[in-house]
């Protein structure tokens, strides 16, 4: 069985080159034989996967046939394993779908049968993923909030529960596939005759069809409609953070034999509005506070508006510019506790002094202050 290079690198099949290179560097660094976590066999496997997926031609061949024919390493190229290669065989005389008088064949099917043992692994049908963006206030990002989304998406029919059968009706065996969910076909190719299985289009791979179709969805089990989804945005969420709701994407009808169809996922990107006073740093809230020179020298008191309301902050005597004051338990909630508010002091130096003020400062200067 051909290796799954995408799984080896831990990336999606649609991943761009940048993601492939990034995944390779991370794994190569981890499993390099010179490292404590090194694994020589794993390192070679990672290199093999990268050599194929980083090359556009090899990747296209691998995506189509499950292996490459352009000199990839690891015994994945050059024709049959343990047999003669294709050499200089001219494929130009053969065409797909029987055009131009050639054989009717599909290269993907042929090589899947020749190299993959003639069978394909059955996978559950899956609906489309959906992504949305939500903007929330700074306060909502700190304390969390519940939101209701109204999405126009393909959902399971509530009338029939997704079965496609009218209420009170039953599901019966599909006559097209004889209840197997698959239809087997024999194709003639230049390699000989090969048997291929495809999903039954009538029952969608379930092997069953409704005796009486649902009047609401027409027997499909799904339909497009407006759907309300309530989401709970957790306290302390950051700007640009992504939330994933499994199974809240679009539904899909049918399914493979023994494998029910699965709905896609809903991805929610959070956008947090900037606050006029506070910034987040982990579970702490940061702010700047201007302090008069007299308060810095003699001490004082100021009122600040926190996210919980107004509080009075004492300015200690003799504070310096850039000093940090801490207010405990007024920050971001996390695990039953809350972070702190960190106040950075900025001492404001007056640009002009009165005559009396200048005399006072001159006296301080004489005292070496």
**Whole-number pLDDT of residue 301:** 95
Tens-place pLDDT, residues 183-210:
888 777 666 677 788 888 888 788 888 8
**Whole-number pLDDT of residue 88:** 40
**Whole-number pLDDT of residue 85:** 40
**Whole-number pLDDT of residue 256:** 56
**Whole-number pLDDT of residue 253:** 82
Burial pattern 75-113, b for ≥16 Cβ within 10 A else e, equals ebbbeeeeeeeeeeeeeeeeeeeeeeeebebeeebbbbb
**CATH homologous superfamily for 130-170+211-272?**
Urease metallochaperone UreE, N-terminal domain (2.60.260.20)
Residues of the chain with pLDDT under 70: 1-2, 68-124, 189-192, 255-260, 369
What are the residue boundaries of the structural domains of the chain, listed by start?
5-84, 130-170+211-272, 279-366
The DSSP output letter for 152 is: E
- Residue 35 φ/ψ, nearest 5 degrees: -85, 160
**Model confidence, pTM:** 0.58
d(C-alpha 200, C-alpha 185), whole Å: 11
**Residue 338 pairs with which residues in a beta bridge?**
333
**Whole-number pLDDT of residue 287:** 97
Radius of gyration (C-alpha) of the chain in whole angstroms: 34
Q: Beta strands 300-306 and 324-327: pairing type?
A: unpaired
Q: Strand, coil or helix: what is 89?
A: coil
Third-level CATH fold of 279-366 = HSP40/DNAj peptide-binding domain (2.60.260)
d(C-alpha 129, C-alpha 263), whole Å: 8
- Class of the CATH domain delimited by 5-84: mainly alpha
**Whole-number pLDDT of residue 291:** 95
**Whole-number pLDDT of residue 207:** 85
């Amino acid at each position: 069985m051909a290796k799954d290079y995408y799984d080896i690198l831990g990336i999606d099949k649609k991943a761009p080159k940048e993601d492939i290179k990034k995944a390779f560097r991370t794994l190569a660094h981890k499993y390099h034989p010179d490292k404590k976590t090194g694994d020589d066999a794993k390192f070679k496997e990672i290199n093999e996967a990268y050599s194929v997926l980083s090359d556009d031609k090899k990747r296209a061949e691998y995506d189509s046939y499950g292996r490459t024919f352009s000199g990839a390493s690891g015994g994945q190229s050059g024709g049959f394993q343990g047999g003669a290669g294709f050499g200089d065989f001219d494929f130009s005389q053969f065409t797909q779908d029987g055009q131009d008088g050639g054989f009717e064949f599909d290269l993907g099917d042929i090589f899947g049968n020749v190299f993959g043992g003639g069978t394909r692994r059955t996978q559950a049908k899956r609906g489309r993923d959906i992504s949305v963006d939500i903007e929330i206030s700074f306060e909502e990002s700190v304390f969390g909030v519940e939101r209701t989304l109204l999405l126009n998406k393909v959902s399971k029919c509530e009338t029939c529960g997704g079965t496609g059968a009218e209420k009170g009706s039953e599901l019966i065996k599909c006559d097209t596939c004889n209840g197997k969910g698959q239809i087997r076909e024999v194709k003639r190719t230049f390699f000989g005759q090969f048997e291929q299985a495809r999903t039954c289009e009538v029952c969608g791979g379930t092997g069953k069809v409704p005796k009486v179709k649902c009047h609401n969805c027409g027997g499909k089990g799904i339909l497009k409609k407006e759907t309300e989804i309530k989401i709970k945005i957790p306290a302390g969420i950051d700007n640009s953070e992504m939330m994933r709701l499994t199974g809240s994407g679009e539904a899909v009808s049918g399914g493979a034999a023994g494998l029910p169809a699965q709905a896609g996922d809903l991805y929610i990107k959070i956008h947090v509005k900037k606050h006029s006073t506070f910034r987040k740093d982990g579970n702490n809230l940061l702010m700047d506070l201007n302090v008069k020179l007299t308060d810095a020298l003699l001490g004082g008191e100021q009122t600040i508006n926190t996210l919980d309301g107004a509080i009075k902050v004492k300015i200690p005597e003799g504070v310096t510019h850039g000093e940090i004051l801490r207010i405990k338990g007024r920050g971001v909630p996390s695990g039953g506790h809350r972070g702190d508010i960190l106040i950075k002091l900025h001492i404001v130096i007056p640009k002009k002094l009165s005559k009396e003020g200048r005399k006072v400062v001159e006296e301080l200067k004489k005292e070496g202050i």
